[in-house]
């Protein structure tokens, strides 16, 4: 069998059939050895999957369970074989976009939600980061099993990781952290090293409603957005912003004072502004392996969730009042 474009009026060479695409080990490759048609197939499969599983959107699952299902699904089916095509940058980016869009759909977040913030809040690496780690794992596994060097991806790995010496390549836990830190810098949020470990205590708990609310907040969704409401919908302040609502809005005085006090007490910090205290607690709190730390961690997130629940409830009440009038 020969894989090439049928330009000649010939469908075989010496009896070997000429075809322009071929499914090899589950991956559809075309005559240019790109995965264009494979992505097409993935798109189609995904669409069907999400239509069938629309009910997932209906809040029967927590953020944790939805992400578990998605992880299982994309890791086992969608990303199968993809590390081998990691050098096809634009195609990989396209799959990444498809995946993030679908995560948003599953989590009931609008498609316009800031992707960087979503990735930050969920602790998700970009696809390239995931694939390069996967590729290194496979390379090491191959070399250990067959006792010979696998060099065909060396140049690609070197290029992606921006290194000169392939022999020093390791699977690195810090790599994901560094990637998230980069996104954090763009969003002006300081990511702490323990964040990924602590994430379990933040979004990935079983408290369904407040998890979604926390996620929504961390992705900057809600009535505090200036592009949605020019004025603060709670107090009418002319410059609506997340900073105004969380730090200053007079309609949230009592809740704010209580929350800030409790958060500062747990961490023994002295944050003056609640928004910073929330971000500190969510992203950059110091991490130790001590038991006590874990306990206070959970407590802090509970306090944040309670505040956010009150805030979104107030938004909801105003919206309902406006709808009724």
Tokens of 214: 């926390």
CA distances from 99 to 78, 126, 127, 218 (A): 9, 10, 9, 19
- Half-sphere exposure (Cβ direction) of 40: Cα atoms closer than 13 Å: 8
**CA neighbor of 282 nearest in space, from 293, 298, 262:** 298
CB of 243 to Zn ion, least distance (A): 11
90-95 long-range CB contacts below 8 Å, 24 or more apart?
A: 91/34, 91/35, 91/36, 91/39, 92/127, 92/128, 92/131, 93/127, 93/128, 94/39, 95/39, 95/42, 95/127
CB of 236 to Zn ion, least distance (A): 7
Q: Is 274 in the site for Zn ion (CB under 5 A)?
A: no
**Smaller CB distance to Zn ion: residue 203 or 246?**
246
Q: Which of 196, 235, 242, 309 binds Zn ion (CB under 5 A)?
A: 235
Judged by CB under 5 A, the stretch of 98-106, 173-181, 242-250, 314-322 that binds Zn ion is 242-250
Judged by CB under 5 A, the stretch of 107-115, 166-174, 194-202, 233-241 that binds Zn ion is 233-241
Q: How far apart are CA 88 and CA 74, in angstroms?
A: 19
CB of 234 to Zn ion, least distance (A): 4
User: Which region, left, alpha or beta, applies to residue 128 given φ > 0 means left and ψ of -120 to 50 means alpha?
Assistant: alpha
Element (H, E) at 197: helix 195-198
CB of 307 to Zn ion, least distance (A): 15
**CA neighbor of 196 nearest in space, from 182, 220, 177:** 177
Judged by CB under 5 A, the stretch of 43-51, 98-106, 125-133, 245-253 that binds Zn ion is 245-253
**Smaller CB distance to Zn ion: residue 131 or 249?**
249
Q: Nearest 5°: CA angle at 31, between 28 and 37? A: 35
CB of 245 to Zn ion, least distance (A): 6
Q: Is 249 in the site for Zn ion (CB under 5 A)?
A: yes
Count of residues engaged in binding Zn ion, rule: CB under 5 A: 5
CB of 60 to Zn ion, least distance (A): 34
**Smaller CB distance to Zn ion: residue 133 or 223?**
223
CB of 253 to Zn ion, least distance (A): 10
**Smaller CB distance to Zn ion: residue 243 or 267?**
243
Q: How far apart are CA 46 and CA 78, in angstroms?
A: 9
Q: Is 237 in the site for Zn ion (CB under 5 A)?
A: yes
**Smaller CB distance to Zn ion: residue 4 or 313?**
313
Contact positions with Zn ion (CB under 5 A) in 193-232: 232
CB of 261 to Zn ion, least distance (A): 20
Q: Nearest 5°: CA angle at 213, between 207 and 219? A: 130
Judged by CB under 5 A, the stretch of 106-114, 134-142, 192-200, 249-257 that binds Zn ion is 249-257
Judged by CB under 5 A, the stretch of 28-36, 112-120, 195-203, 241-249 that binds Zn ion is 241-249
**Contact set with Zn ion (CB under 5 A):** 232, 234-235, 237, 249
């Amino acid at each position: 069998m020969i894989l090439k474009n049928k330009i000649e009026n010939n469908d075989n060479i010496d009896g070997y059939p000429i075809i322009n695409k071929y499914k090899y080990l589950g991956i559809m490759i075309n005559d240019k050895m790109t995965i264009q048609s494979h992505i097409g197939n993935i798109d189609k499969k995904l669409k069907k999957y999400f239509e069938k599983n629309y009910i997932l959107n209906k809040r029967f699952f927590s953020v944790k369970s939805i992400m578990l299902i998605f992880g299982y699904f994309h890791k086992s089916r969608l990303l199968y074989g993809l590390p081998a095509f990691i050098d096809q940058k634009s195609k990989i980016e396209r799959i990444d976009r498809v995946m993030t869009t679908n995560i948003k759909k599953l989590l009931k977040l609008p498609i316009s939600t800031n992707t960087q913030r979503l990735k930050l809040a969920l602790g998700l690496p970009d696809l390239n980061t995931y694939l390069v780690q996967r590729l290194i794992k496979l390379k090491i596994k191959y070399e250990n099993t067959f006792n010979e060097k696998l060099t065909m991806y060396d140049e690609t790995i070197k290029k992606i990781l921006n290194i000169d010496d392939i022999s020093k390549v390791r699977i690195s836990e810090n790599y994901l952290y560094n990637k998230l830190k980069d996104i954090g810098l763009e969003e002006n949020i300081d990511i702490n090293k323990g964040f990924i470990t602590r994430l379990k205590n933040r979004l990935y708990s079983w408290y369904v409603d407040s998890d979604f609310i926390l996620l929504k907040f961390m992705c900057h969704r809600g009535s505090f957005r200036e592009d949605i409401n020019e004025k603060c919908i709670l107090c009418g302040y002319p410059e609506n912003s997340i900073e105004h609502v969380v730090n200053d809005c007079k309609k949230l005085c009592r809740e704010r004072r209580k929350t800030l006090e409790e958060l500062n007490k747990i961490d023994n910090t002295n944050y003056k502004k609640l928004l910073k205290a929330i971000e500190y607690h969510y992203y950059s709190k110091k991490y130790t392996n001590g038991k006590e730390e874990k306990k206070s961690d959970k407590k802090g997130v509970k306090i944040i969730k309670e505040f956010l629940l009150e805030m979104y409830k107030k938004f909801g009440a105003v919206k309902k009042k406006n709808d009724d009038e």
